[in-house]
A = this chain, B = another copy of it.
Amino acid sequence: MSIRVGIVGISGYGGGEVLRLCATHPTFDLVYAAGESSAGAKLVEKFPGIGRLGDLVIQKWNPADLPQLDVLFASLPSGESKEALARVPASTKIIDIGGDHRFVEGWTYGLADVWPDQIRYQTRIANPGCYPAASLSALAPLLAHHLIDPASIIIDAKSGVSGAGRGGGSTFGYAEVNEDVSAYGLLKHAHVPEMTKALSQIGGKPAQITFTPHLIPMTRGILATCYTSGSATTEQCLQAAREFYRNRPFVRVTDKPPHTKWALGTNLVFVSYAADPQRKLIMALGAIDNLGKGAAGQAIQNANLITGQDESAGLQGTALWP
């Protein structure tokens, strides 16, 4: 059985990664691709290494012109999703990779490793942001098992540059990013409300988060290093995570600090923990590929869930190494 899928936002890194994953997906048949800046070109002109889908012509995005689709992946700039996606017919399921529909009524928050059963067979999925994907994966087991104080959470996250998208000029230019690290958006990043809502829901109590994103000189990857209050031991935290993620195909609980490179090009998330019960400190670490679990990988996983496919279909690649 073939599932007809489309992508809007093919020119961006997130849309491009959905395309890459669709190209080897066993049942997804990409029949539509749209992108503002590339309209009129064949996919192969934009993605020279694309393989069998190369002849598909990129369309100008217009919700009124959509062909019949089972699933539409939307990767639009912030603020452009709400109106446009409202015009997509109900028969087309949507995965919104952008941020406009997270915790919006009528949409299900697609944190697939934590809430697969709420996602299955839904029709409107808001894919989590890249920072939340890394952070929530690490923190969820601790909150679900009530091992930490939900009001004590500090998240110090390090991201590769592709998370900023393709714009940004010289700020994201090689010459300026190379040999540099900096924090940004101190005490006010856009992902905080999303993480607060999700963690409050997981823990059953209001969470309070301090979040500091950092830009580091790499293309892909996010590492979230989280500091929280709690009395559990390292082993109790690891055990909580192993139970929480039992049989979940994409989460790896590890007793060593994870490397983002372990996840490069995949939908995997690596979580680990270290605790100092005397000081009541628990550290949680989450490592992902920001375009994998942080965007397109999770989107495919969600699309598998809503269309009744095997959850891992098209996502079984191993990380690129080195």
Interface, chain A (partner B; CB < 8 A):
13, 16-17, 19-20, 23-24, 47-52, 154, 156, 158, 160-162, 166-170, 172-184, 186-187, 208, 210, 212, 214, 216-221, 223, 225, 227, 252, 254, 257-266, 268, 270, 274, 276, 279, 281, 283, 285, 287, 316-322
The one of B180, B186, B276, B318 in contact with A51, judged by C-beta atoms closer than 8 angstroms, is B318
Q: Give chain B residues whose Cβ lies under 8 Å from the Cβ of A263.
A: 49
Known: A49-B268, A227-B227. 6 other contacts (CB 8 A): A49-B262, A50-B319, A161-B175, A175-B219, A186-B257, A187-B274
The one of B49, B173, B265, B276 in contact with A172, judged by C-beta atoms closer than 8 angstroms, is B173
**A318: shortest Cβ distance to chain B, in Å?**
5
Check B48–A252 contact: CB distance below 8 A.
Answer: yes
Closest to A275 in B: B187
Q: Give chain B residues whose Cβ lies under 8 Å from the Cβ of A51.
A: 316, 318
Q: Give chain B residues whose Cβ lies under 8 Å from the Cβ of A261.
A: 176, 179-180
16 CB-based A-B contacts, threshold 8 Å? A48-B252, A48-B319, A49-B263, A50-B319, A52-B316, A156-B225, A160-B175, A175-B322, A178-B219, A179-B179, A180-B260, A181-B218, A183-B285, A208-B279, A212-B283, A320-B320
A218 to B320, CA, bound (A): 14
Check B180–A218 contact: CB distance below 8 A.
Answer: yes
Check B219–A174 contact: CB distance below 8 A.
Answer: yes
A154 to B283, CA, bound (A): 11
The one of B172, B181, B262, B276 in contact with A259, judged by C-beta atoms closer than 8 angstroms, is B181
10 smallest beta-carbon distances between A and B, as pairs: A49-B319, A180-B261, A174-B177, A186-B274, A166-B170, A175-B322, A182-B259, A156-B156, A161-B174, A162-B175
| Residues A48 and B254 in contact in the complex (CB < 8 Å), given A177-B174, A322-B13 | yes
**A265: shortest Cβ distance to chain B, in Å?**
5
Check B181–A216 contact: CB distance below 8 A.
Answer: yes
Check A182–B227 contact: CB distance below 8 A.
Answer: no
Q: Give chain B residues whose Cβ lies under 8 Å from the Cβ of A274.
A: 186-187
**A165: shortest Cβ distance to chain B, in Å?**
9
Closest to A209 in B: B279
Check A287–B174 contact: CB distance below 8 A.
Answer: no
Check A214–B210 contact: CB distance below 8 A.
Answer: no
| Residues A178 and B218 in contact in the complex (CB < 8 Å), given A51-B318, A173-B172, A320-B320 | yes
Check B221–A214 contact: CB distance below 8 A.
Answer: no
A264 to B217, CA, bound (A): 15
